[in-house]
């Protein structure tokens, strides 16, 4: 088995930093039980003061490590809650934009542009893919790499699809 490497060490560092900043008291992780709608995410936060992050399909991602992928999802769900953004295309886009604003507070110029393009491929690209195919992407890293080169090709490709009836709470 080839060892997994992360797509961007800088992005991984930013994910860890911002996740810890956004969730100083942490969050819960489950591979089976996590909010599947924005309404459920808000309710869980109000009721428990914490959120549960879905850990499924965290192996083949741009982060090269399931833990960093889960932290990225937690940071992304924080953006949904902080901005009041739903889980549709518009909400995912707005949550991603908020995350890019946070990235730009830490890095600038071409580096920020590149990291935001990667995050947009990860979040918005996968959301657009789900809207088109109603399936979740298993080979997320390959999808992001393809999307960065040719979004139309990525949106029409087959990346180890898994049928799903509802979109996962976040694709970060």
Does the pTM exceed 0.75? yes
Does any domain span residue 49? no
Does any domain span residue 42? no
Which among 121, 159, 119, 118 has a CA at the least distance from the CA of 139?
159
pLDDT tens for each residue of 104-155: 999 999 999 999 999 999 999 999 999 999 888 989 999 999 999 999 999 9
pLDDT-derived band at 162, boundaries 50, 70, 90? low
Does any domain span residue 74? yes
pLDDT tens for each residue of 62-108: 999 999 999 999 999 999 999 999 999 999 999 999 999 999 999 99
Does any domain span residue 15? yes
Does any domain span residue 30? no
pLDDT-derived band at 158, boundaries 50, 70, 90? confident
Does any domain span residue 1? no
pLDDT of residue 170: 45
pLDDT tens for each residue of 21-46: 999 999 999 998 899 999 999 999 99
Domain count, the chain: 1
pLDDT-derived band at 169, boundaries 50, 70, 90? very low
Going 30 to 122 to 39 to 80, the CA torsion angle's sign is positive
Does any domain span residue 50? no
Find the domain containing 119 and state its range: 9-24+55-163
Distances (CA, A) of 31 to 20, 34, 64, 144, 171: 21, 8, 18, 23, 14
Does any domain span residue 46? no
DSSP code per residue over 31-52: SS----SHHHHHHHHHHHSS-E
């Amino acid at each position: 088995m080839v060892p997994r490497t992360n797509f961007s060490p800088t992005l991984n560092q930013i994910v860890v930093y911002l996740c810890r900043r956004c969730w100083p008291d942490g969050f819960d992780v489950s591979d089976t039980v996590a909010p599947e709608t924005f309404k459920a995410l808000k309710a869980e936060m109000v009721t428990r003061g914490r959120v549960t992050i879905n850990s499924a399909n965290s192996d083949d991602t741009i982060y090269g490590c399931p833990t960093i992928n889960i932290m990225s999802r937690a940071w992304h769900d924080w953006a949904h809650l902080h901005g009041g953004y739903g889980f549709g295309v518009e909400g995912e886009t707005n949550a991603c934009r908020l995350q890019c604003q946070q990235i730009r507070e830490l890095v600038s110029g071409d580096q920020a542009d590149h990291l935001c393009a990667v995050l947009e491929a990860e979040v918005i690209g996968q959301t657009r893919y789900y809207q088109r195919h109603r399936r979740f992407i298993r080979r997320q890293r390959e999808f992001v790499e393809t999307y960065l080169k040719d979004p139309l090709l990525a949106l029409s490709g087959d990346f180890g699809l898994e049928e799903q009836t509802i979109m996962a709470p976040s694709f970060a």
